Amino acid sequence: MKTKTDTLLELWLEARTRFTKQLESLRTKDLQKKLGNSPNTVGFLIRHIGEVELLFAKNVFGDSSIKVTAKTVIEKRDTGEWTDLEDLKKYVADSVEKLKSIIEKQSEEDWEASISTKEFGTKTKAEAFGRIISHTAYHAGQMAILIKYGNF
């Protein structure tokens, strides 16, 4: 029988394919695409997804070994620096592995533990985990639109 950790991990990784499948065919020039006067590019969104995954590993799941400066969260807008495709792919490969690693260490009881953050208040870890799933899927949808319809 699967544990809650196994089930939630599978759910997250499957939902994350909405993001990872796009990375497979992404071209460097796509990183600069955006819609009209919208503030963010594809490159910014990739970096943002990785930063938030690292923040979750650190702040929600308690991995104190993680050091992250969440530039996209701090700036709240694209600064034009997210243009190296291989760098971005490495960053999100690292972020998914770090978050996956700490998730795998969660016990059944850990999922019911309450955590508090300024972003979403007090929730159980299981409830908070829903935020990272929806966060990645939300931004993956934005990326798909930018890649398909965006301009440079």
The CATH number of whichever domain residue 75 belongs to comes to 1.20.120.450
SS3 54: helix
**Backbone phi and psi for residue 140, each to the nearest 5 degrees, phi listed first:** -65, -40
Do 53 and 99 touch, CB atoms closer than 8 A? Answer: yes
Which class for 16: exposed (0-12), middle (13-18), buried (19 or more C-beta within 10 A)? Answer: buried
pLDDT at 117: 86
> DSSP character for 61?
T
pLDDT at 119: 82
Based on the structure, what is the number of domains in the chain? 1
pLDDT at 125: 96
pLDDT at 86: 98
Q: Give residue 11's domain range.
A: 4-149
pLDDT, block means (10 residues), the chain with 152 residues: 95 97 97 92 98 96 95 91 97 98 97 91 95 96 96 89
